[in-house]
């Protein structure tokens, strides 16, 4: 896992938790993309789950998680929220993932791979 990405995820988590906001890993991923970090959701979700189990941020803020229905009840996601917060009041259950662009670098300050732009992926696709 990209250590820089883990740090960025943790920063967004800490911001959301400090505000007492309920959120899913999708909220974290979308916020990262809104900040210019080009990341796939499957890179974000396991890190959020790991942080929930191993980080003091959630415990100290009195957060728990609840499995909730999303996408019109066709899927489920963990909602991270303060203990006592009604998980049914969360309004992001039908949101879409902000698109991932396979032709952009993960971080805005990383160089763009010229071969990727000109020829598409050369050889093995970069890990995603």
pLDDT of amino acid 123: 46
Helix (H) or strand (E) segment spanning residue 91: none
pLDDT per position as a tens digit, 68-92: 998 877 889 999 999 999 998 898 8
Hey, what domains does the chain have and what are their CATH numbers?
3-99 (1.10.10)
Strands 63-70 and 75-82: antiparallel
Secondary structure tally for the chain: helices H, strands E: 5, 2
Cα distance between residue 27 and residue 41, in whole Å: 10
pLDDT per position as a tens digit, 94-124: 888 899 988 888 988 876 655 455 555 544 4
Cα distance between residue 17 and residue 36, in whole Å: 21
């Amino acid at each position: 896992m990209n250590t820089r990405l883990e740090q960025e995820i943790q920063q967004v988590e800490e911001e959301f938790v400090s505000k007492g906001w309920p959120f899913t890993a999708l909220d974290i991923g979308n916020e990262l993309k809104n900040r210019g970090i080009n990341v796939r959701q499957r890179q974000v979700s396991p890190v959020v789950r790991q942080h929930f189990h191993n980080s003091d941020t959630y415990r100290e803020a009195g957060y728990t998680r609840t499995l909730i229905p999303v996408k019109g009840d066709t899927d489920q996601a963990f909602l991270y929220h303060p203990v006592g917060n009604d998980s049914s009041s969360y309004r992001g259950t039908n949101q879409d993932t902000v698109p991932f662009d396979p032709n952009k670098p993960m971080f805005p300050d990383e160089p763009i791979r010229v071969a990727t732009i000109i020829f598409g992926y050369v050889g093995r696709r970069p890990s995603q």
